[in-house]
Amino acid sequence: MVNESSGGCCGRLHAGHDHMSKDIQDTHDASRAHTKTEIDPICGMSVDPTGAAGQYDYKGATYYFCAVSCLERFRADPERALSKKPVNLVTMPSSRKPLPMMQPTEHAEIDPVCGMTVDPATAAGRYEYQGKTYYFCALSCLARFRAHPEEVLSKKKPLPMMQPTEHAEIDPVCGMTVQPTTAAGSYEYRGERYYFCATRCLEKFRDDPEYYLLPPDQRVPKPVAVPAGGVVEYVCPMDPEVLETQPGACRICGMALEPKVVSAEDVGNPELEDMSRRFRICLGPAVLVMFIAMSDMIPGMPLHHRFGGEVLNWVQLLLATPVVLWGGAPFFQRGWASIVNHAPNMFTLIAIGTGAAFGYSILATLLPTLLPASFHRPDGTVAVYFEAAAMITVLVLLGQVLELRARSQTSSAIKSLLRLAPATARLVRPDGSEEDVPLDQVHVGDRLRVRPGERVPVDGLVVEGSTSVDESMITGESIPIAKEIGVSVTGGTMNGTGSMLMRAQRVGRETLLARIVQMVSDAQRSRAPIQRVADVAAGYFVPLVVSVAVLTALAWALWGPEPKLAYALVNAVAVLIIACPCALGLATPMSIMVGTGRGATAGVLVKKAEALEVLGKVDTIVFDKTGTLTEGKPALMTVHPTPAWSESDLLRLAASLEQGSEHPLAGAIVAGARSRKIPTVASGQFQSTTGKGVSGLVEQNSVAIGTASFLRETIGVTAGELATLEAEADRLRQEGQTVVFVAIDGKAGGLLGVADPIKASTGDAVRLLQADGLRLVMLTGDHQQTANAVGRQLGLDDVRAGVLPNQKGEVVARLKAEGRIVAMAGDGVNDAPALALADVGIAMGTGADVAIESAGMTLVKGDLRALVRARRLSKATMQNIRQNLFFAFVYNLVGVPVAAGVLYPFFGLLLSPMIASAAMTFSSVSVISNALRLRRLAL
């Protein structure tokens, strides 16, 4: 049994700890066995080299890392990492208050994965194994334990710094329990010494002590600035695991690397500039070589008679040499690298083909006597193929230019999103003065003026004024949204005709726009399962093509017409050149890249390419009710007084009393009074009876609110008075409302109906999904009567009520066991396990972070109509991928045999290597062009 509560760990404060804890534990065990450990130069943690997440050689020394993020930070700036001073360990007592989950308790448990102390009441999850219940600080620890419980329990002793001790201290940054004797470091501030679990926490505290001395719930997110002169990382579009700090070619496929993080500015593309320059310079000499080679076709052969065949061969040699050796140098370099790295690719074939043609031609020019007599023409010279080598090189250069230009357009969606953020913001200072400041100088809490027609600079709340905001660039919905005091606004959206004053809440990389850009960028580098088809084919492709080229040469040399060897060479080169593994390799990633970008502009964020592939095949969608189908915020729907009271008086007294309650229903009642402009007054003698109701004194009236049994048994309201309200209460329950009774001065005063309203967009989305033939299932913890009311309003037949949080995953598992392809849509912490278990997890962008992290897809504004758009996008993207793969396979299946000469015995047709080169270029460009059609997809 699995149960996740909303308490969770301390979340992002030590997000890095979860995935490092097992490696740390392995290191601890290894150290007891006297095995050598290394120190991660970034975070200072001990690392077992045999289980390190990565290693990096720098200046003759090898450094080991606990996580890939530490490795990447070190690789970006090794000198800075190595220049940090070692941390001193000092032991002095302290009394920092720990986070709730880590507060001392008589029944504290130890997380068996990371060794942290966990309070069962606030644990992120629990798992029963072999009759014992284990508790976990985070869902990631739970998932790791569930996958390999025996392995975890075999080394479950907590880390030394986290073992219970009478003098344990609390790390003020992440809230972890730390032993002073084994702490990673300490720092004295205002006469008190603080201890830290890792040097990273120490550095954060030392930079801003006041911030981390605040209680965790009072810390506002801090903007993350991009360091000036930061290192740009480059990634391969076909092999995203290849990551370099310099532009160049992929060591696996040979394709040009591109920046991992897209910039809004149109910065130069060094690879495109280099290929363009080589193409422009080489085009002229290649055309001259082509003209000389074809001069024999001119009536009377004037050039041949004027200069002679030998001179013309030498002229072609002089013109072709710089074209092939300088213009084609990148192709030879990549071809050689592919052989060295045992990763043959398109450039392997190009290098072999052009190299063979060029090498043979040099031999025929310099040492013609070494060739058989059948190769010689009447004048004693030998036919050369400099024009084939030169034109192949120029055409491949042209293909690279066209491909790089087309690929640059695949990131246009991210660039358009980045350009939504304005360069400046209008800052309103405390004295009321205003000035425009750069966006990177805006901090959390700043007040900003947004004038009509301007873009909202960052995420925040409206504190003055009202307006309407166009959010179509993020949500895909064209209707402007009204914004008034207390309503949130999103950075990058367009303000309408009103003026407003807002308070910044999230800036920098924490804004919704920045998170969207990051998620889309990550998704574009992920790999869809269908990519495996192309990967398997590509693995055999190059060796197979080389074998076909050799067989072609042998066949022509044995059975071809004279000159046999010349025909053998030309046709073998044509086979090598026309084959294009890049068309296969690009078929999937190009479509995924463009498709995820198109989704981002329509309010659909794809986190994993697999989700985009599977969503179109889904036949069942499971919805969590609260926050997914409904607003997730209870609202006052009905005020029904008895004849002795008016609606306004009943609501004023009830809302005044409920001001002292923290119950969600109380908040709905108070908000309902405010929305109706009904003022509240102070209350006294407030008492709360858990699970039943509240009572107190308002304007000298004794007021009680709660269940009918509470009013009858505790307050003394007669059953007869309550009976007059029961019929109305039953009617409201049939409509899906939760009913509370109100008593005033010991007599029934009326009742209030509270409900979680269905989202305005839910009805349309449900009808469209049902029309698409999908089975829709609603899960809720509500009573069956309330759940049925919601189901009736939406037209849902499969409504499952009384489902506990830990049972949602079981429902998904049962549906999958029936052979269904299941998508799960939810927004809460308790939905995370079901989201992860479903074939496709769909999170609401308005929901909890853990739900978004567990899902493969996010609907930005929680609008389910975006789910309809996501299915259309999924189907269109997969169709586009299948088109690309079909074209790539058919092109190679037809092109290679034609180049080998299978048509020659029947039609006398042979394929020139130059035409083969043009065809090869066309194949890659056509795949990219087809993928770019997704940018114009109507969703």
Residues belonging to the active site: 624
Report the C-alpha gap between 168 and 707 in whole angstroms: 46
Helices H / strands E in the chain, number of each: 32, 38
Query: How far is residue 269's CA from residue 818's CA, in Å, rounded to a whole number?
Result: 51
C-alpha–C-alpha distance, residues 575 and 896, integer Å: 5
Closest to 798 in 3D by CA, of 816, 826, 779: 779
Residue 640 and residue 649: Cα distance in Å, rounded? Answer: 11
Coil vs helix vs strand at 449: strand
DSSP 741: E
Cα–Cα distance measured from residue 666 to residue 663, given in angstroms and rounded to the nearest whole number = 5
* Residues paired with residue 778 on neighbouring β-strands, in sequence order: 623, 799
Pairing of strands 125-129, 132-136: antiparallel
Instruction: Give the other-Cβ count within 10 Å of 601's Cβ.
Output: 21
Number of other CB atoms surrounding residue 360 within 10 Å = 24
Residues 466 and 483: beta-carbon distance below 8 Å:
yes
- Can you say whether the dihedral through the CA atoms of 468, 472, 477, 478 is positive or negative? positive
626 near 553, Cβ under 8 Å? no
The pair of three-digit structure tokens given for residue 12, joined into one six-digit string: 């992002």
Task: Show the beta-strand stretches assigned E in 663-791.
Answer: 683-689, 693-698, 701-706, 738-744, 747-755, 775-779
Considering just the CA atoms, what is the radius of gyration of the chain in Å? Answer: 35
Q: What is the DSSP string of 170-230?
A: E-TTT--EE-GGG-SEEEEETTEEEEESSHHHHHHHHH-HHHHHS-GGGPPPPP-PPPTTP
Q: How far is it, in rounded angstroms, from Cα 586 to Cα 522?
A: 17
First to last CA, the chain: 41
871 close to 772: Cβ distance less than 8 angstroms: yes
Angle between helices 784-794 and 719-734 (to 10 degrees): 40
